[in-house]
Amino acid sequence: MAPLITISPVVMAAALMLLTSRPLLAGAVVKPEEAIGMPGCDTACGDMKVPYPFGMGSPSCYWPGFNLTCDRTGKTPRLLFGDGSLQVQDIDFANSMLSVTHTGEIKTDANGSGWFVGGIRDDGLYMLSSDSELVLTGCNVRATLKDGGGATISSCSSLCGAGHEPVTYVPSRLQGGMLCTTIGCCQADIVDQPVEAASKLSYGVQLDYFGGNRTTDLERLPARVFVATKGWFKQPSVSDELLQTSRAPSQDAMAVPVSLWWQVVGHGVEPDSNATSEVCPENAARSVCRSNDSVCSKGSKGYSCLCESGYQGNPYVAGGCTDVDDCKEEDAIRCYGVCTNTAGSYECPCPAGTHGDSSVPGGCVASRAAGRCSHSCGDVDAPFPFGIGPVGCYWPGFNLTCDHSSNPPRLFLDSQRDLFRVQKISLLDNTVIVLVDGAS
């Protein structure tokens, strides 16, 4: 008796049309276009766009706490944040992130006390992003960073040992993005900040000197403390400048990048601190996310908005989210058929006269065998991608042979009709059961 053999797996790919929807734009910078600000408000400062909830000028142009200033006194306008010590570089809606630069180290008084980022109104929720770190250069000094509630969120110490000579060599380890070994400089991550302390962008800095001679230590290597985006200090153009003592650091080296996370709060849309649901209340979604085709996200003390899948723009203003023509986004979609843009999505059928999988190159094959295809032989069904007949009746590699010389007809995997006789094809579990003819 001929043995039964089950062949598995069989790759099935018989979709005639691909209907695709894009995910929410997470992790990608949404560049607001068209309706970006409130009516009658200036939405540009030089080359920088100023999308609502941020704004300039009249209070009606921005959500409370999101006011910016355009400094046009120089050759190139600068978009400033807070008390003017921060220059805005980018506004990222997808991650609710504000990228700014701070010039120079955090200034401290004779007692070593100082503040990072002052002058920000309390009704705008800003926090240092998790991609931030504390950086300290100097000899025999410790820096401590505290949040607005007084809790320590970062600290590190920089040592130089005994002696009076200027520091000329600082060892490096460049491990996990950290350049310093605590000899001449140190770096430390910033821990997550308690929600109750996050209503103010106020961070206190304290420098404590523990060497034998503070004046000598400052002459050996000046003490400078920074809060910066991770990766800034390990750049040779920055660290080499800050760790040399022959001259003052360059202006470029002292341009410190900082990333601030923000949420919309105030104006009667504060989340209920006792509520456990992560769903935005209807009044908040309507007041904050004003555009159709937008999505509201509830945070710890406020809200943020995104345009829905397949849309882009500013979800915080009416009409701000506009449909993306997916068919023009060749790098973002997989369509090798006929692309048709739809509201928030796209369709991608194979061209007329072809069939197959339009999501892969060469996936659409010619249907030249219309009316000449067979999908059964005797009492055995041969569903697509299998087929009997000329090219176009089957997916490449899935052609079968029906032997009509016997009664009933017999179905074979091989064209020679002398080895693998098909007994059953299952699309459910991707298997083909065959008899090996001629086997004992």
Tell me, what's the pLDDT at 134? 95
Q: pLDDT tens across 261-296, in order?
A: 888 886 666 666 556 667 788 888 888 999 999 999
Find, among 334, 340, 336, 361, the residue nearest to 350 by Cα. 336
Tell me, what's the pLDDT at 27? 32
- Does the N-terminal peptide bond of residue 409 adopt cis geometry, omega within 30 degrees of 0? no
Is the pLDDT score of 384 beyond 70?
yes
Find, among 422, 399, 398, 404, the residue nearest to 412 by Cα. 422
Is the pLDDT score of 51 beyond 90?
yes
Please give the average per-residue pLDDT across 421-425, as a whole number.
Answer: 92
pLDDT above 90 covers a percentage of the chain that reads 42
Is the pLDDT score of 344 beyond 70?
yes
Question: Is the pLDDT higher at 351 or at 273?
Answer: 351
* Least confident interval from 1-10, 206-215, 320-329: 1-10
- Tokens (6 digits) for 218: 């400052």
| Residues 86, 101 contacting (CB under 8 angstroms) | yes
CA distance 433 to 166: 82
Tell me, what's the pLDDT at 130? 86
Q: pLDDT tens across 233-243, in order?
A: 999 999 999 99
Please give the average per-residue pLDDT across 149-155, as a whole number.
Answer: 89
| Residues 62, 69 contacting (CB under 8 angstroms) | no
Q: pLDDT tens across 163-189, in order?
A: 656 555 555 555 555 578 888 999 999
Tell me, what's the pLDDT at 419? 77
Please give the average per-residue pLDDT across 53-59, as a whole number.
Answer: 94
Our CA angle for 428, 430, 435, nearest 5°, is: 115
Is the pLDDT score of 199 beyond 90?
no
pTM of the prediction?
Answer: 0.68
Is the pLDDT score of 59 beyond 90?
yes
Compute and round to an integer the Cα radius of gyration of the chain. Answer: 33
Buried b (16+ CB within 10 A) or exposed e, 166-181: ebeebebeeeeebbbb
Tell me, what's the pLDDT at 276? 61
Is the pLDDT score of 389 beyond 60?
yes
- Rounded to an integer, what is the distance from CA 390 to the centroid of its chain? 48
Is the pLDDT score of 350 beyond 70?
yes
Tell me, what's the pLDDT at 250? 92
Please give the average per-residue pLDDT across 93-118, as a whole number.
Answer: 89
Is the pLDDT score of 423 beyond 80?
yes
Tell me, what's the pLDDT at 278? 72
**Residues 386, 390, 395, 396: what is their CA dihedral angle, to the nearest 10 degrees?**
120
Tell me, what's the pLDDT at 138? 94
Please give the average per-residue pLDDT across 18-25, as a whole number.
Answer: 33
Is the pLDDT score of 35 beyond 90?
no
- Does the N-terminal peptide bond of residue 257 adopt cis geometry, omega within 30 degrees of 0? no
Is the pLDDT score of 127 beyond 50?
yes
3-class DSSP string for the chain: CCCEEEECCCCCCCCCEEEEECCCCCCCCCCCCCCCCCCCCCCEECCEECCCCCEECCHHHCCCCCEEEEECCCCCCEEEECCCCEEEEEEECCCCEEEEEEECCCCECCCCEEEECCCCCCCCEEEECCCEEEEEECCCEEEEEECCCCCEEEEEEEECCCCCCCCCCCCEEEECCEEECCECEEEEECCCCCHHHCCCCCEEEEEEECCCCHHHHHHHCCCEEEEEECCCCCCHHHHHHHCCCCCCCCCCCCEEEEEEEEEECCCCCCCCCCCCCCCCCHHHHHHHCCCCCEEEEECCCCEEEEECCCEEECCCCCCCEEECCHHHCCCCCCCCCCCEEECCEEEEECCCCEEECCCCCCCEEECCCCCCCECEECCEECCCCCEECCCCCCCCCCECEEECCCCCCEEECCCCCCCEEEEEEECCCCEEEEEECCCC
Number of alpha helices (DSSP H) and beta strands (DSSP E) in the chain: 3, 34
Question: Is the pLDDT higher at 173 or at 250?
Answer: 250
Tell me, what's the pLDDT at 22? 36
Tell me, what's the pLDDT at 128? 86
* Least confident interval from 13-22, 345-354, 423-432: 13-22
- 6 — pLDDT class (breaks 50, 70, 90): low
- 8 — pLDDT class (breaks 50, 70, 90): low
- Tokens (6 digits) for 78: 């600068």
Is the pLDDT score of 23 beyond 70?
no
